[in-house]
Amino acid sequence: MTVTLIKVVIALIVGGFVAVCYLWKRPLTDLGKVSRRLCALNAVGWVIVLLPWSTKGHPPTVLFPIAIFWLLNFILLPVIGLLLWVCRSDHDERKPYVATAALYLALNITVLYIVPFISLALGTLREFWER
């Protein structure tokens, strides 16, 4: 149940970002358009990761798309952040687009890197204190 809820929330966030950036607040500058394309590439990756993959086998099939997605975003997210920083500092891009894309970027970083790090750290501490 919780896995399904997480998938629904992620799908709503990704769908909301795509709807806002492609239908409502489009970027004006070339760098903004490149950042939108890279964010759309990230959204496609989320759709692939959210597909119903098999969790059976050793290693499970779901592990490969998640690992590839995580590694690709290790490069993709800093590039998007850099493009948004340049767009913001040039003052040529619409502020609502930059704010929306920055929020999407922050949510991606949180879900892909901060939450797993905290859960691993808490699991390690729990094992340490139970000994």
User: Would you list the domain boundaries of the chain?
Assistant: 2-130
- Residue 40 confidence (pLDDT): 86
What 3-state DSSP class applies to 58?
coil
How confident is the prediction along the chain (131 residues), in pLDDT tens digits per residue?
Answer: 577 777 787 778 877 877 877 777 778 888 888 988 898 888 888 888 877 777 777 777 778 888 898 999 999 999 999 999 998 887 888 888 888 888 889 988 998 899 888 988 888 777 777 76
Residue with tokens 């959204």: 43
Q: How far is CA 101 from CA 91, 122, 126, in A?
A: 15, 30, 36
Assigned fold of 2-130: de novo design (two linked rop proteins) (1.20.1440)
Q: Answer whether 86's CB lies under 8 Å from 98's CB.
A: no
Count CB neighbours of 70 within 10 A: 14
